[in-house]
């Protein structure tokens, strides 16, 4: 018995179960479903090993594809379902804790190999079947020589009844007879074949050896050959076949006729092309995907001396906000529009645009002048993004950050080039976005990569590398400290203290945000209790930020209740901050847990208010009790006198908030003048460097004591 309920073996088994459920209904196996699952289990294990292996081995994927054919999963639908299943579940159940991005890439290459192995095995099986028919025909033919009567009838039956196309021609190529199946494949009655010569059936895509094999056969130098060959039908369309041609000899062994057996593979070929297309293109935008881009980049980098490449790695600025606030459908439309614009920027030969995932795109240019051309390409892209995108009646401004890498073939691997581009893009983003930067090897070496941080995150939580700083929330009326916001930091062993902007998005992507958020909540609530014990005078409240993923996590309410109870802290002491963009467009299901928390007495604050695309009328249906005005409002009050329009806006928001019974907190107060202005405008509490920067919990306690006594 395994003590661990969810070990790799269990997950592998679950993957095999899902796989067998998906594929079993479309197989023609005589096995039961559980037996079929047993058969898939070793294949699943093979995929898992190939997924995690140090070096990629396409043979493994091909072997699994071939094994599917062996298991009677010969229907193209069975392959399609198997690939869907690998796409959706392989990394999930078998990916361990490996780097997701690489695993995904590996998984799609495996799918590719599976499709190829499947097609190959299917083809070999068909050839074997054809061979058997040819044998039967030859046998029948042999019998013709001995007992014409019965054999003639048998041969007729084989000839006419066969599902496969059969034709007989003499050694000069004159067609003598074709069966019904062959006529149907060509779609033009027997007349289409009469007086035709085999040698007329050339096709532009004929492999060079096709006609060499033919000549050898009619000269009697070979008994048969198999090829894949295309034909033009009388109506001009193309018929693809698996063609087997055999030499028929007379009773004395002299070559006499040629017998062609052909199977129509047009559909299967189309399916293969479609599978290849789907495996290499992004379903949303139709652009080449990461797999195809990698193939292309690898090819360019493997090209000989003198070849140069230039690559632009684009990430949209603030796409997440648009997605969160306007919904995924609008986000998708935006991506499609961006994809179209990018494509129009890279139309020259040797140029290519691909979508790597999410809001990340790449544009590649090649050729001896790539160094110069890539700069122009980046400028064209920035330019193409300038015009706003109209979606649902709104004009959305799209901006992007681009990392440019340029170089000669043969110096670096594709993965290294992409890593450098990613780091450079990130540098452009950190410098404020809406710009492009050129890769710099020194900066690359120093860079803290997203990938590196992402893989280090889980262990960091276990090793206790996170800590919390607290920033006081001050009452604007009397200047007293009312509480504090908990802001998490990561003391990274190599890179020192990292701010939440560096790692919260990564934790959100990987799901680690749930345990991390729970840890922050637990620590903060305990801290609130410690403050209360030392500072009797009215409890200090604690604000804790919640990520959108935490909102949808089913354990949110229960976890919060447990944490409060364990610490012996009243719900009223806690305020959960949720960003505006996470709540706008939220349906009732999403709001339910927040509503339950609000009913218990937990405050809910709308964080960064004013940055999303929300409308104020929406506020009424949200279970919030506090508005936190975004820093940008405070910033606009920095100059003196402040812009009267800005003042009016803030005043309006404050009065609307108060009329809805919401308290207003302002963020980013850096000067006394700002504080005074905001007090006059009616804001209730404030937070900012003017009062204190985020700091250790003891500091807050001292501050609170000062104003309690002073």
Q: Which of 20, 343, 527, 545 binds Mg ion (CB under 5 A)?
A: 545
684 lies in the site for Mg ion, by CB under 5 A:
no
500 lies in the site for ligand C2E, by CB under 6 A:
yes
Instruction: Give one DSSP letter per residue of 288-350, joined into a string.
Output: B-HHHHHHHHHHHHHS-TT-EEEEEEEEEETHHHHHHHH-HHHHHHHHHHHHHHHHHH--STT
305 lies in the site for ligand C2E, by CB under 6 A:
no
Stretch that binds ligand C2E, among 63-71, 101-109, 365-373, 684-692 (CB under 6 A): 684-692
- Given the complex with ligand C2E, which of 373 and 577 has the nearer CB atom? 577
- Is there a contact between 511 and 490 (Cβ–Cβ < 8 Å)? no
667 lies in the site for ligand C2E, by CB under 6 A:
yes
405 lies in the site for ligand C2E, by CB under 6 A:
no
Out of Mg ion, ligand C2E, none, what residue 310 binds, judged by CB under 5 to 8 A for its kind, is none
CB of 330 to Mg ion, least distance (A): 24
CB of 629 to ligand C2E, least distance (A): 10
668 lies in the site for ligand C2E, by CB under 6 A:
yes
Contacts with ligand C2E by CB under 6 A: the residue count is 24
- Is there a contact between 44 and 19 (Cβ–Cβ < 8 Å)? yes
- Is there a contact between 404 and 421 (Cβ–Cβ < 8 Å)? yes
Cβ atoms within 10 Å of 395's Cβ, excluding its own: 9
Residues pairing with 524 in the sheet: none
CB of 691 to ligand C2E, least distance (A): 8
CB of 485 to ligand C2E, least distance (A): 6
CB of 607 to Mg ion, least distance (A): 4
Q: Which of 264, 437, 444, 577 binds ligand C2E (CB under 6 A)?
A: 577
488 lies in the site for ligand C2E, by CB under 6 A:
yes
Residue, CB closest to Mg ion? 577
Give dist(CA 310, CA 407) in Å, integer.
Answer: 7
- Given the complex with Mg ion, which of 241 and 634 has the nearer CB atom? 634
Give dist(CA 415, CA 420) in Å, integer.
Answer: 9
Residues between 589 and 648 that touch ligand C2E (CB under 6 A) = 607-608, 631
Q: Which of 108, 365, 547, 685 binds ligand C2E (CB under 6 A)?
A: 547
Give the residue carrying structure tokens 């930091």.
489
697 lies in the site for ligand C2E, by CB under 6 A:
no
Q: Is omega for the bond preceding 238 within 30 degrees of 0, making it cis?
A: no
Q: Cα 423 to chain center, whole Å?
A: 19
Give dist(CA 654, CA 512) in Å, integer.
Answer: 36
Tokens found for residue 32: 């039961």
The site map against Mg ion for 601-630 (x = CB under 5 A) is: ------xx----------------------
- Nearest-5° angle of CA 671, CA 674, CA 679? 130
- Given the complex with ligand C2E, which of 159 and 466 has the nearer CB atom? 466
Q: Which residues of 530-543 are buried (b: 16+ CB within 10 A; e: fewer)?
A: ebbeebeeebbbbb
Out of Mg ion, ligand C2E, none, what residue 37 binds, judged by CB under 5 to 8 A for its kind, is none
**CA end-to-end span of the chain:** 66
**What is the binding site for ligand C2E (CB under 6 A)?**
471, 487-488, 499-501, 504, 517, 520, 545-547, 577, 607-608, 631, 667-670, 687-689, 694
């Amino acid at each position: 018995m395994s003590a661990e309920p969810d070990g790799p073996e269990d997950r592998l088994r679950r993957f095999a179960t899902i796989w067998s459920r998906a594929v079993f209904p479309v197989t023609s196996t005589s096995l039961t479903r559980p037996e079929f699952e047993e058969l898939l289990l070793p294949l699943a294990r093979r995929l898992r090993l190939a997924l995690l292996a140090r070096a990629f081995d396409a043979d493994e994927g091909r072997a699994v594809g071939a094994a599917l054919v062996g298991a009677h999963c010969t229907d193209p639908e069975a392959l399609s379902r198997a690939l869907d299943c690998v796409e959706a579940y392989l990394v999930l159940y078998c990916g361990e804790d490996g780097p997701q991005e690489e695993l995904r890439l590996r998984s799609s290459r495996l799918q590719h190999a599976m499709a190829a192995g499947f097609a190959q095995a299917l083809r070999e099986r068909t050839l074997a079947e054809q061979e058997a028919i040819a044998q039967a025909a030859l046998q029948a033919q042999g019998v013709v020589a001995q007992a014409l009567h019965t054999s003639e009838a048998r041969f007729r039956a084989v000839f006419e009844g066969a599902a496969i196309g059969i034709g007989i021609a003499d050694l000069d190529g004159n067609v003598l007879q074709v069966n019904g199946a062959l006529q149907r494949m060509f779609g033009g009655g027997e007349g289409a074949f009469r007086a035709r010569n085999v040698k007329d059936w050339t096709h532009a895509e004929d492999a060079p050896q096709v006609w060499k094999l033919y000549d050898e056969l009619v000269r009697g130098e070979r008994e048969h050959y198999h090829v894949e060959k295309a034909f033009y039908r009388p109506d001009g369309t193309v018929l693809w076949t698996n063609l087997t041609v055999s030499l028929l000899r007379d009773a004395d062994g002299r070559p006499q006729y040629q017998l062609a057996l052909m199977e129509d593979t047009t559909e299967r070929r189309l399916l293969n092309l479609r599978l290849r297309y789907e495996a290499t293109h992004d379903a949303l935008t139709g652009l080449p995907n990461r797999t195809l881009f990698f193939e292309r980049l690898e090819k360019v980098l493997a090209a000989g001396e003198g070849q140069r490449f230039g690559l632009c790695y684009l990430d949209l600025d603030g796409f997440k906000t648009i997605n969160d606030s306007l919904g995924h459908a609008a986000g998708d439309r935006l991506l499609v529009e961006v994809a179209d614009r990018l494509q129009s920027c890279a139309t020259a030969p040797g140029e290519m645009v691909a979508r790597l995932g999410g809001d990340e795109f790449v544009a590649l240019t090649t050729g001896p002048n790539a160094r110069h051309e890539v700069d122009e390409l980046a400028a064209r892209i920035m330019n193409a993004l300038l015009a706003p995108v109209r979606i649902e009646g709104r004009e959305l401004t799209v901006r992007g950050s681009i990392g440019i890498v340029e170089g000669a073939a043969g110096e670096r691997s594709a993965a290294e080039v992409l890593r450098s581009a990613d780091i450079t893009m990130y540098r452009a983003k950190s410098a404020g976005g809406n710009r492009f930067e050129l890769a710099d090897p020194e900066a690359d070496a120093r860079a803290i990569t997203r990938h590196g941080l992402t893989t280090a995150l889980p262990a960091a939580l276990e090793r206790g590398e996170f800590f919390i700083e607290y920033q006081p929330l001050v009452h604007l009326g009397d200047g007293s400290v009312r509480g504090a916001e908990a802001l998490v930091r990561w003391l990274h062993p190599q890179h020192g203290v990292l701010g939440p902007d560096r790692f919260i998005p990564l934790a959100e992507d990987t799901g680690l945000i749930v345990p991390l958020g729970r840890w922050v909540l637990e620590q903060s609530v305990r801290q609130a209790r410690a403050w209360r014990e030392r500072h009797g005078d009215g409890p200090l409240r604690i604000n804790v930020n919640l990520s959108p993923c935490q909102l949808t996590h089913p354990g949110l309410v229960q976890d919060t209740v447990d944490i409060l109870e364990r610490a012996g802290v009243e719900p009223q002491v806690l305020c959960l901050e949720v960003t505006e963009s996470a709540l706008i467009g939220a349906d009732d299901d999403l709001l339910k847990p927040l509503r339950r928390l609000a009913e218990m007495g937990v405050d809910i604050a709308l964080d960064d208010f004013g940055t999303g695309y929300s409308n104020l009328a929406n506020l009424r249906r949200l279970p919030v009790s506090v508005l936190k005005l975004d820093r940008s409002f405070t910033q606009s009050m920095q100059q003196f006198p402040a812009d009267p329009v800005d003042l009016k806006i803030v005043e309006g928001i404050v009065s609307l908030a108060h009329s809805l019974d919401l308290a207003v907190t302002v963020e980013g107060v850096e000067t006394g003048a700002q504080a005074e202005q905001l007090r006059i405008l009616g804001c209730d509490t404030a937070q900012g460097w003017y009062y204190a920067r985020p700091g250790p919990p003891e500091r807050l306690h001292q501050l609170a004591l000062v104003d309690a006594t002073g």
